[in-house]
Amino acid sequence: MVLVGGCHCGAIRYEVRGEPIAHALCHCRDCRRHAGAPMVGWAMYPADAVKVTQGEPKLYKSSEHGRRYFCPDCGTGLFYTNDDVFPGIIDVQSATFDDPEAVPAQAHIQVAERIKWMGRAHELPAFDRFPPRE
Ligand SMILES: [Zn+2]
Ligand SMILES: [Zn+2]
């Protein structure tokens, strides 16, 4: 299987070969604050399975060993590596796949740091678009 993806503006494109080692929705504080989102989906691959085919992501050191890669033009988060905890592994921000349905998430991780109301997010009212106006 080959999946392709990229950032919002299109400056950075990548391709990924093979099945992910895992695909998890991360609730840790670092992911949340870097993405500006309540959780972030990560598909984990061997580092050599992922190839940037266009553009050059910018590197941000988000912790002592954590490295986050994002598009310097539009800010989309793309990859994460941590040579201390996950040597030889790269995490791909799975919502940046052109087909984000291709690899379903398998688990929630780092829920010890989850925003409390996110634990019941699936119970919230849902609308195809927006709530009806009064
Ligand atoms: Zn971009
Ligand atoms: Zn995280």
Q: What does the pLDDT look like over 66-123, one tens digit per residue?
A: 999 999 999 999 999 999 999 999 999 999 999 999 999 999 999 999 999 999 999 9
Taking the centre of ligand 2 as the mean of its atom positions, its distance from the CA of residue 90, in whole angstroms, is 13
Is pLDDT at 124 greater than 90 in this prediction?
yes
Taking the centre of ligand 2 as the mean of its atom positions, its distance from the CA of residue 98, in whole angstroms, is 22
Backbone angles phi, psi at 96, to 5 degrees: -95, 0
In angstroms, rounded to a whole number, what is the distance separating the alpha carbons of residues 93 and 45? 11
Is pLDDT at 134 greater than 90 in this prediction?
no
By C-alpha distance, which of 35, 45, 95 is closest to 69? 35
Q: What does the pLDDT look like over 25-72, one tens digit per residue?
A: 999 999 999 999 999 999 999 999 999 999 999 999 999 999 999 999
Q: What does the pLDDT look like over 12-22, one tens digit per residue?
A: 999 999 999 99
Taking the centre of ligand 2 as the mean of its atom positions, its distance from the CA of residue 133, in whole angstroms, is 36
Q: Where are any strands of DSSP class E within 1-134?
A: 2-6, 13-17, 22-26, 40-46, 50-54, 58-61, 66-70, 77-82, 86-93, 107-109
Taking the centre of ligand 2 as the mean of its atom positions, its distance from the CA of residue 73, in whole angstroms, is 23
